A = this chain, B = another copy of it.
Amino acid sequence: MVVGSVALDSVFTPFGETADALGGSAVHFSVAGSLLSKVKVVGVIGSDYPVKELERLASRGIDWSGVERVDGESFRWKGKYSYDLQSRETLETRLGVFATFRPKLPESWRDTPYLFLGNIDPELQLSVLEQVRRPKLVVCDTMNYWIQGKRPELMKLLERVDVLLVNDGEARELSGNWNIHKAGRWILERGPKLVVIKQGEYGALLMDPSRTFYVPAYPLEEVFDPTGAGDAFAGGFMGYLARVDSVAPEQMRRAMVYGSAMGSFAVEGFDIRGFDGVDFDAVQRRVKAFVDLTHVPAAEPLP
């Protein structure tokens, strides 16, 4: 289950642009996650949302019945990437119906074992968490906006989640540490048992108090649109764990690889089109390629 935004994105990159395309953390998460597991979505859309598009996606195993449809405008985000896709500028954010969103879980969803709290107001994340009974794993995302504007609520949330999944800039801002390993340790001392730090084209780290695991990014010669890659990562990470129904450390490492694989598909196309034609077998092939990417052959003891 994911709670997050179901949005309409307009994105400008050096390689093209989209207007009012399917986007939002819950959408990117679901498209990736549904390749591995059933996904339930909690969110809100306005009366202008292209519901047909969501219905089309439902056939992949995404249950949208937790998405309220209310009068008003859907959440819209407009952003522009730099020439090297290393940074982006938000041109416009229109909250629309999201401004008054109060997530309410269908009764039967309150026993969901795997919960992803997408990047929304920490108060809403907390309210969803409170509606769920004894989940096996709670993972949450956040962003600079909440780190700056809702730090006390965010810190309260951190005490109650198992994994914080953020990018390197967010980890630095949250902790006040430039060094990413110090930043990770700072976070681990605030509640989460694990922290995942995404580093974009440089891959992602999984840290627990005693060990670090690293997955590089997939070597891509063409990246079209980084939007949603982090949420796709989360979808792969959670989708894998839900599928194997385990939170064992070795499964966490494999979940990181599935997350990275999903992130690599996401950036290969605009909006959710990076997943066009991607099926379970394609995911498995990419996971295998990821494993090969860092495989160190065993060797005889040195002479």
Binding site for B on A (CB under 8 A): 36, 84, 178-182, 185, 199, 201-203, 205, 211-216, 219-223, 243-244, 250-251, 253-254, 257, 284, 290-297, 299, 302-303
Contacts and interface: CB of A to CB of B under 8 A. Distances in A.
Given A179-B221, A216-B214, A221-B181, A299 B203 contact: no
B302 A244 contact: yes
Contacts of A211: 292
Given A199-B202, A243-B302, A213 B254 contact: no
25 contacts: A84-B178, A179-B220, A179-B221, A181-B219, A181-B221, A185-B221, A199-B202, A202-B203, A203-B216, A211-B292, A212-B293, A213-B293, A213-B295, A215-B294, A216-B216, A244-B302, A244-B303, A251-B299, A253-B295, A253-B297, A254-B297, A254-B299, A290-B296, A291-B296, A294-B294
Contacts of A181: 219-221
A199 B216 CA distance: 12
Contacts of A292: 211
A212 B220 CA distance: 11
A297 B243 contact: no
Most chain-B Cβ atoms within 10 A of its Cβ — which of A84, A185, A202, A216?
A216
Given A205-B219, A244-B302, A251-B299, 7 more contacts: A179-B223, A181-B219, A212-B219, A213-B294, A250-B299, A284-B302, A294-B294
Contacts of A296: 253-254, 257, 290-291, 294
A162 to B, nearest CB: 19
A36 B303 CA distance: 10
- In the complex, the 3 A-B pairs of residues with the closest C-beta atoms, listed nearest first: A294-B294, A250-B297, A214-B216
A297 to B, nearest CB: 4
Given A202-B199, A202-B202, A243-B302, A214 B178 contact: no
Interface core residue of A216, A221, A243, A294 (most chain B CB under 10 Å): A294
A234 to B, nearest CB: 19
A293 to B, nearest CB: 5
Contacts of A299: 244, 250-251, 254
Contacts of A253: 295-297
